[in-house]
Amino acid sequence: MKEFDPIILDEGVALNKKDLIKLRNDARAEEEWVECSLCKSFVHQICGLFDGGINQNSSAFVCPMCVIKNRTEKARTLLVGTRPQVVSDIPHCIMSEAMENGLYRALRKAYEKKAKELNVPVDNIEKANNLYVRVMCE
């Protein structure tokens, strides 16, 4: 490659070879830190899975320890407070509704296939009852 040959970077930017700075591969980059908005401790951005370039001004950072503590406190609150008594009491979201409907469609086809194989009415096929799909996330 010649000195004035263009190099196209991933971002689509074109540079000439002469514009690049020669560095050794063992150069150590300074690690960036991010502060937890709850406990005020500092975590390496890479350890906290925080992208400072994207999230610097737009997102609050919560460290892994505070996330775990918060989940534990929420779980305790659910145990003490009112909670659903049966799975069907848990509200649907769009994803769980689509998954549950897909499950019932697939089961209906399987029942019809089994009834045809056995040459019996579909009502005579043993069916799975009380199946619910819920997507649980925070």
Alpha-carbon distance of 82 to 96, in angstroms, equals 22
The domain 6-80 belongs to what CATH superfamily?
A: Zinc/RING finger domain, C3HC4 (zinc finger) (3.30.40.10)
Tens-of-pLDDT digits for all 138 residues of the chain?
A: 677 778 887 777 888 877 777 777 666 667 788 888 889 998 888 887 777 666 656 667 888 888 888 876 665 555 555 555 677 777 778 888 899 999 999 999 999 999 999 999 999 999 998 888 887 754
Q: Whole-angstrom Cα distance, residue 90 to residue 82?
A: 12
Contact assessment for residue 66 and residue 104, using Cβ atoms and an 8 Å cutoff: no
> Taking the model in full, what pTM does it have?
0.39
Listed by start position, the domains of the chain span 6-80, 87-124
